[in-house]
Every structure is written in structure tokens, then in C-alpha cells.
Amino acid sequence: MSLQTGQRLATIGRPIINPHNLQIIAFYVNGPRLDFNPAVLFSEDIRELGSIGVIIDSSDTIMSPDGLVRLQEVLNYHFSLDGLRVIDTKGRKLGVIDSYALDSDDLSVQQIFVRPTLTKRMALAQLTINRKQIVEIDNQKITVDSADSKIANVAEKIVNPNEIPFENPFRQSPVPAPETKG
């Protein structure tokens, strides 16, 4: 929404993330009031981010990415966190990125949430990785430090489901009631 007119200008789409610092530097935006497509909104032009949406000063802050040299450099990486593989430094596959959490002040990625590989899903629904655990990033994968994280240890401790002792509560013998002295 525009602070100047109070009207809805566009809808925010996919973020443009700088892989060097995992910060969202801009968002793709689209909408019927825009004169060009694709259009981008730089994160620094966002005045307020809230539950009702994003507030910017005016439509002048929405730009075409053509000719924006710094932005073109990041766009040329073709980087996206969504669905990116995650491995540890020992080469073990941990899963793929399902979502991530941002710092609301600078829109930097603080945590990534990883959907574990099929074999690890029996014990874990989701892995949470702090940005401090990230060792390396490229377009194919993110490598996390296995020494600093408990992720690798949890992944190694996944038990074979056939070895889990299972007690059927319906087959247990009833517990005798305590005798009362009267």
C-alpha cells in the first residue's frame, strides 16, 4: 500500500535473496497498477511490514530491474532458498529447505527449516538450522557444520521402527485395585 495515496499498489511475490549474506534485498511485485513487468521493490523502501501488508511511500519506489546494476549482480546468481538441498560437512543429506525465518529489522534469514529426507522423517518432522551453522552456500545446496549442530547427532540416532518397543494398551492386564482395610 502507498502511504501517499492509501491505495493498494501491488502484491509482493518472490524475494530476491543475496546468497553472500542471506539478506532479502528486494521483492518481485506485480499488480494491475504497475507500468512494467517484472517490477521490484527494494527492502530498504519498505516503511512498515505488518499483518495487513507492506507500506511504502509511493509507487515511485517500485522499479523495473533493468539497469539496476547492483540488483542485476544478485539476480544473475539465480539463487532461491526454496527447495534447496541441505547437507552437513560430512556429506550427509539432511533434507531440503521448506521455509525460513527472517529478522524483521533487516530482513536477513536467521533460521532455515528443513524437511528431512524420507528415511529421517520417521523420527523428525522438521529440522531447524541457525544461520551461524551455515558453512557454505551455492545454487545446489547449503552445507551446515555437523560439529556445531545437534542435527547430525539426531539424524544418526534415528531408530529402526521395527526396534521400537511398542506396548498395546488394550492388551495389558488390568492393574488390580488396592485393597482397602475396613
In a domain, 153, yes or no: yes
* Closest CA relative to residue 149, chosen from 135, 137, 125, 133: 133
Q: Which domain holds residue 112?
A: 85-160
Of 54, 75, 96, which one is at a domain's C-terminal end? 75
**Claim to verify: residue 60 and residue 94 sit in the same structural domain:** no
Do the beta carbons of residue 120 and residue 158 sit within 8 Å?
Answer: yes
pLDDT in tens, the chain (182 residues): 777 777 888 899 999 999 999 999 999 999 888 888 899 999 999 988 877 788 888 888 999 988 888 899 999 999 999 999 999 999 989 999 999 999 988 999 999 999 987 766 666 678 899 999 999 999 999 999 986 445 444 444 444 444 444 444 444 555 555 565 65
pTM assigned to the model:
0.73
The tally of domains found in the chain comes to: 2
pLDDT at 90: 92
**Each residue's pLDDT tens digit, 107-154:** 999 999 999 877 666 666 788 999 999 999 999 999 999 864 454 444
